[in-house]
């Protein structure tokens, strides 16, 4: 089985117990079962937020912040469309969301108020909706925390990049929405899909490098990227990892899942497999990397190029977070590496 998410999120509950003893607070780790352990008068029982709205739930988010939710949120604002698919499946009550021209918005949220594009959130619009929870994307919305906290609006900052991020957030958002059972089922379904996709993949640790190209630049994706996460599920060996080079920047902002590209390092590692993701395939990004490959003789000496093991990955699965389509992303990479069911 895939690695457990047992240590990924910490939650706490608080409930009335034994009137003469007051309130007892007990912490517990959010296990795959997505239940919260509750202690009262010496006894323990499984409890979810949805079973008792008097419960307080404290979440440790991906920025290591403690966020207290006094009740099951009824007015959620989501600052990235990436979370909407999961929230839809766990029946989260979303009243506001980021605008998107490319993401598929679940039918239940199409009429929810828009609060700006993911990179240009209108904080006044968010505050005006009077949400009882805001879900922000790690590395993107930290600048909004002071104004939201000043208005006493709870905010949880979550990452949604790797497979483990997605699986964990199925459980966590199910718990937050008051439907822990749906979150558990969703995580299990996701896990089954990925397990099926990798069931017959050879345990061959191919030396791999993942490049990311835009119209203006090339960078290297690390194990923390979407493609890097999928590569890890396929037992591929990333030849260039986090820490090997400085963190790359995109649009002037640090991009933690990418590092600076070096042709010298690429030649030194001489990967067997080369994956390429691109931002703006229709705007010249792919042409840039193809021109680089054609005009620099060093490329022709790479094993991946010689053996025709260079693969371009689609944006909808490897640039935008695939979310619940992670099994599809895994299958796509499998099909590139082992065409015509060679892996089976």
pLDDT tens digits in sequence order for the chain, 344 residues long: 444 333 344 455 444 333 333 322 323 333 333 333 223 333 333 333 444 444 688 899 999 999 999 899 999 999 999 999 999 999 999 999 999 877 789 999 999 999 999 989 999 999 999 999 999 999 889 999 999 999 999 999 999 989 999 999 999 999 999 999 999 999 999 999 999 999 988 888 899 999 998 877 889 999 999 999 999 999 999 999 888 888 887 666 678 889 999 899 999 999 999 999 987 655 566 777 777 777 788 888 999 999 999 999 998 899 878 899 999 999 999 999 998 755 44
Whether 32 is in a domain gets the answer: yes
233 and 153 within one domain: no
Whether 187 is in a domain gets the answer: yes
Kindly report the CATH number assigned to the domain that includes residue 14: 3.40.50.1980
149 and 126 within one domain: yes
Whether 198 is in a domain gets the answer: no
Whether 199 is in a domain gets the answer: no
Q: So what's the pLDDT on residue 251?
A: 62
Please work out, in degrees rounded to the nearest 5, the angle formed at the alpha carbon of residue 280 by the alpha carbons of 207 and 289.
45
Mode of pairing for the β-strands spanning 23-29 and 10-16: antiparallel
The two three-digit tokens of residue 274, written as one number: 């080369």
251 and 220 within one domain: yes
Q: So what's the pLDDT on residue 344?
A: 44
221 and 171 within one domain: no
227 and 187 within one domain: no
Chosen domain end from 192, 219, 242? 192
Chosen domain end from 192, 224, 250? 192
Q: So what's the pLDDT on residue 271?
A: 96
- Give one DSSP letter per residue of 2-57, joined into a string: PPP-TTS-EEEEEEE-SGGG-EEEEEEE--TT--EEEEETTEEEEE-GGG-TT-EE
Question: Hey, is 344 helix, strand or coil?
Answer: coil
Q: Considering its fold, how many domains does the chain have in total? A: 2
Whether 104 is in a domain gets the answer: yes
239 and 150 within one domain: no
185 and 212 within one domain: no
Whether 256 is in a domain gets the answer: yes
Count Cβ neighbours within 10 Å for each residue of 107-116 and write b for 16 or more, e otherwise: eebeebeebb
165 and 274 within one domain: no
The two three-digit tokens of residue 74, written as one number: 């009824």
47 and 171 within one domain: yes
Residues 6+ apart with CB under 8 A from 299: 292, 293, 305
Q: Are 173 and 113 in contact (CB under 8 A)?
A: no
166 and 311 within one domain: no
Domain of residue 283 covers 207-341
Q: So what's the pLDDT on residue 20?
A: 35
Q: So what's the pLDDT on residue 31?
A: 34
């Amino acid at each position: 089985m895939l690695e457990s998410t047992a240590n990924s999120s910490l939650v706490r509950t608080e409930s009335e117990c034994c009137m003469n003893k007051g309130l007892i607070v007990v912490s517990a780790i959010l296990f795959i079962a997505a239940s919260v352990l509750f202690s009262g008068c010496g006894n323990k029982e499984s409890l979810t937020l949805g079973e008792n709205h008097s419960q307080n739930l404290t979440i440790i988010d991906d920025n290591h912040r403690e966020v207290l939710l006094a009740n099951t949120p009824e007015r959620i604002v989501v600052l990235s469309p990436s979370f909407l698919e999961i929230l839809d499946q766990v029946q989260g009550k979303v009243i506001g969301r980021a605008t998107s021209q490319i993401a598929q918005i679940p039918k239940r949220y199409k009429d929810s108020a828009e609060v700006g594009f993911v990179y240009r959130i209108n904080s006044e619009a968010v505050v005006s909706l009077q949400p009882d929870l805001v879900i922000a994307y790690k590395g993107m919305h930290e600048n909004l925390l002071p104004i939201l906290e000043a208005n006493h609006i709870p905010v949880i900052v979550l990452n949604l990049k790797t497979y483990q991020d997605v699986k964990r957030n199925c459980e966590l958002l199910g718990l937050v929405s008051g439907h822990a059972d749906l979150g558990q089922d969703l995580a299990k379904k996701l896990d089954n899909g990925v397990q099926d996709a990798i069931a017959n993949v050879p345990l061959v640790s191919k030396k791999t490098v993942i490049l990311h190209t835009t119209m203006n630049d090339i960078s290297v994706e690390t194990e923390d990227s979407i493609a890097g996460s999928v590569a890890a599920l396929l037992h591929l060996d990333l030849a260039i990892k986090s820490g090997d080079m400085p963190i790359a920047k995109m649009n002037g902002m640090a991009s933690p899942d990418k590092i600076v590209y070096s042709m010298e390092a690429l030649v030194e590692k001489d990967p067997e497999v080369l994956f390429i993701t691109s931002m703006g395939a229709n705007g010249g990004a792919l042409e840039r990397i193809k021109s680089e490959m054609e005009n620099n003789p060093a490329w022709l000496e790479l094993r991946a190029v010689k053996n025709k093991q260079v693969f371009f990955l689609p944006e909808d699965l490897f640039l935008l977070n695939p979310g619940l389509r992670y099994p599809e992303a895994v299958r796509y990479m499998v099909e590139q590496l082992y065409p015509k069911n060679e892996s089976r």
